Structures are given as structure tokens and as C-alpha cells.
Amino acid sequence: MSALDSLSLTAIPPEDEALRGEVREFLARAMQGVPAHVRAKSWSGYDSAFSRELGRKGWLGLTLPKEYGGGGRSPYARYVMVEEFLNFGAPVGSHWIADRQSAPLILKYGSEAQKRFYIPPICRGESFFCIGMSEPNAGSDLASVKARAIPDANGWILNGQKIWTTNAHNCHYMIALVRTSGTAEDRQKGLSQLIVDLKLPGVTVRPIRDLSGESHFCEVFFDNVRLPADALIGAEGKGWEQVTAELAFERSGPERLYSSIVLFDEWLAFVRTPQGRTREALELAGRIVAQLAPLRAMSIAVTGKLAKGESPIVEAALVKDLGTGVEQLIPAAIADDLYSRQPQDIPMELLHTLDYVTQVAPSFSLRGGTRDILRGMIARGLGLR
Ligand SMILES: Cc1cc2nc3c(=O)[nH]c(=O)nc-3n(C[C@H](O)[C@H](O)[C@H](O)COP(=O)(O)OP(=O)(O)OC[C@H]3O[C@@H](n4cnc5c(N)ncnc54)[C@H](O)[C@@H]3O)c2cc1C
């Protein structure tokens, strides 16, 4: 039994819900014996062989057209699958970004040749992408990116730096937001998106160690990197519009509410034992589920908008802001609960899991856009800015 089982407030179409049993069965076998503190990494966990196995099962690129190797299914089907991956803490980090946003971006803005070249290997779990947006002085203020690509006879020459690039050291390609014309004062104008092959001469990838001691994101330097003309994705100078659409894909999934779900389940398992069951713990469990359940309904409603072909930018920002709040509440509240108990009663694996999630929790409301930025978007959606 998992916390997920008690959260069903909104219907998912039965043909998509039907996928859940098969995915659960597979994951129950694949994840058997993997300790909770490892499963808690989930979409930060990297396992390229696991991604290839999902590709063989036809579970990557689920919403992409079959002609490019995708599954041709609805966003609801992908929601069910992703929800199960997160719930089991499957190591999905290697294909995560390519599946979630790079392939849909290429599908939306790429040329036919780009679609045929890049999307099928993504669906096979063989080609991994990273997001080249942030720079040392351009995070929230993304329009001030300084990496610059200058056109030349053979394509582009790229110089500059990206930072906090998740998994760049394990990826084949980056989709980078860069300036291709104008100056920094032009802001959103003159930006473009380029697909950068990270093996090219002039690309240096340097992993950064985070608070938990792991190196999952990187600095990436471009020193006169020569890119072919068809590295440009979409139209030159339209990078801002494209990146905005990409961020809606990035923010709209259930990963923005379930980052602490493995910890929550591990703690619930303890609360179900005689030593773990206290009145305060039962109240806390109810409080957390009462927040997760409506959030899940909202998150599914965002998927409904994707299914209608809409780009739910403000709605995704709202769910992400509220969702990361609950993701951060869970480790803090569980730590308070465990602090009031006898140390010898607390299972060691629960403590290991709490330790890991507590260390990474501050990043939940930074990655994918900070809370302040999301609230600015919500205010704009309300016509207040
Ligand atoms: C785990 C993790 C993974 C990441 N992966 C990637 C990745 O793969 N690719 C990528 O490109 N980036 C990635 N990032 C970077 C992330 O997108 C940025 O950290 C984020 O956008 C914030 O930018 P910044 O770090 O430059 O902080 P800043 O923009 O300098 O913000 C600092 C603080 O000021 C606040 N602030 C800034 N502007 C305003 C404003 N206008 N109004 C009110 N408050 C404001 C912010 O909310 C924040 O609290 C990742 C970050 C993390 C933590």
C-alpha cells in the first residue's frame, strides 16, 4: 500500500488508468530490494540501462507520434506512468529531461529532419538531453543570458557558459538558450535555441558537488564551439517564445509534488507499526494527505489542459508553487515527529531517507524556477502585473 492509493479525487480516463497495473507490476519487480534512501532520488537517480529497458517496453516518448518512435498516447497515460515511476522511486533521471521536454520541444519547433534524427533515439532510451538555460548571472532573469552564437559560413560559433545543468556530464545533447543577435539590452529579442552536441571540441563539462555530496548538476563552458547550421531549433530570434513553451512542459508534471513521496511512504510504514503509531503521527499523516490529494487533482487538471493541446503556463506555476511547499513540509514535519520519539524505536532506513531528502529539499523550490518567479507569473495570470 502506498500514499498514492488514497489520493484519487479526479478521474483519469479508464484506457489510460489501465496502464497503471502493468507499470506497477514491472516496477515492483525492478525496484525490489532497493533501499528507500536510494529510491528517494527518483528523478535525480541515474541509470541508463533502466532507461533503455523502459524504451524497449515502449514507455518513453509515450505522448509522441508513432512515426517518430513514440507511443501515440495521451498526456493522461504519461501522467499515470510518471506518477508510478515517482511513487516507486525509479531511477529515471537519465531520460527524464529528453522525455519530458526536449523531445516535445523538437516535435513542436524542429524541422522534419531534426524530428527524424533526434526523437527516435530518445524514445529508445539511448539519447539523453540537458537544459541549457541558467548562467552565472542569468537564473530567474533568464532574458539576460550572455552565451552567444555568431553565424559563420558553416553554421554557428558558440561561446559562453551555462551553470546548474542537471546531468550534463551524462548527456549527449544540450538545448541551449543563447543570444544570436543584438545585445543584452535587447532582452527577450535576439535569443535562439541551439542543440549542442556535448562531445564537440570546445565543450567542457565540470560537475558541481551539492550539499548531499553528489554531483548531479554541472558547469558547462563553450569555447569557440563550431555548430552546424541545423543546430538551430525553430526560428532564429524566437528562442524566448520557445523556451516559455518548454518551461510549461518542465513545470506541469507530477514530479513537482512527489519529490518526498518515498520518504512519506517509508514513514507511514513506521506509523503503521505498534511503536510508530501515535496520535500526533496520525494527525500529521492526515494533514499531509489532505494537502496532497487536492494537489494531485490540480495536477491532473493541468494534464487535462495538455491533453487539449493548451499550454497551461500559469496553472503549472500554481501547482508547482503549492506542490514544492508540500514536498518541503514532508521532511520537516517528519523530522519533528521523529525528534519526539525514542531513538531506538526509529528504523535506520527511515533516518537515512530523511537525511537525504532533508538535504535536497531546499532545491525543490529553486529548480525549474523559484517560488518568487512562479508567484510573479500567477500575479500576471490574475492581471495584477
Ligand atoms: C537542483 C537544481 C537543478 C537545476 N537544473 C537546472 C538545469 O538543468 N538547467 C538549467 O538551466 N538550470 C537549472 N537549475 C537552475 C535553476 O533554474 C536556477 O537556480 C533558478 O532559476 C534560480 O536562478 P539563480 O540560481 O540564478 O537564482 P537568482 O535568480 O539569483 O535568485 C536568487 C533569489 O532571488 C529571488 N529573485 C530573483 N529574481 C526575483 C524577482 N524578480 N522577484 C522576486 N524575487 C526574485 C529568487 O526567487 C531567489 O530566491 C537548477 C537548479 C537546481 C537547484
The predicted-structure confidence for 195-212, as pLDDT tens digits, reads as follows 999 999 999 999 999 988
Average pLDDT over the chain reads 95
Q: Is the CB of 134 under 6 A from ligand 1?
A: yes
Q: Which atom of ligand 1 is nearest to the CA of 360?
A: 1
Q: Is the CB of 217 under 6 A from ligand 1?
A: yes
Q: Which of 42, 134, 167 to mutate to test the pocket of ligand 1 (most atoms within 8 A of CB)?
A: 134
The helix-helix angle for 75-88 and 19-30 (nearest 10°) equals: 30
Q: Are 148 and 159 in contact (CB under 8 A)?
A: yes
Measured distance CA(335)–CA(227) in Å, rounded: 49
The residues carrying an active-site annotation are 250
Measured distance CA(369)–CA(363) in Å, rounded: 10
DSSP code per residue over 44-109: G---HHHHHHHHHTT-SSTTS-GGGT-----HHHHHHHHHHHHHHT---HHHHHIIIIIHHHHHHH
Flag whether pLDDT at 9 surpasses 80.
no
Q: Are 276 and 270 in contact (CB under 8 A)?
A: yes
CA atoms within 13 Å, Cβ hemisphere of 194: 26
Measured distance CA(273)–CA(352) in Å, rounded: 19
Measured distance CA(296)–CA(312) in Å, rounded: 16
Q: Among the listed ranges 83-87, 245-249, 361-365, which one has the minimum average pLDDT value?
A: 245-249
Please give the pLDDT value at position 212. 86
Chain segment 244-278, per-residue pLDDT in tens: 988 888 888 899 999 999 999 999 999 999 999 99
Mind listing the domains of the chain with CATH numbers?
3-127 (1.10.540.10), 131-237 (2.40.110.10), 252-381 (1.20.140.10)
What whole-number percentage of the chain has pLDDT above 70? 97
Q: Which of 133, 173, 370, 380 to mutate to test the pocket of ligand 1 (most atoms within 8 A of CB)?
A: 370
Q: Is the CB of 166 under 6 A from ligand 1?
A: yes
Q: Is the CB of 100 under 6 A from ligand 1?
A: no
CA of 132 to the centre of ligand 1 (A): 13
Determine the average pLDDT of the residues in 104-124: 98
CA of 88 to the centre of ligand 1 (A): 28
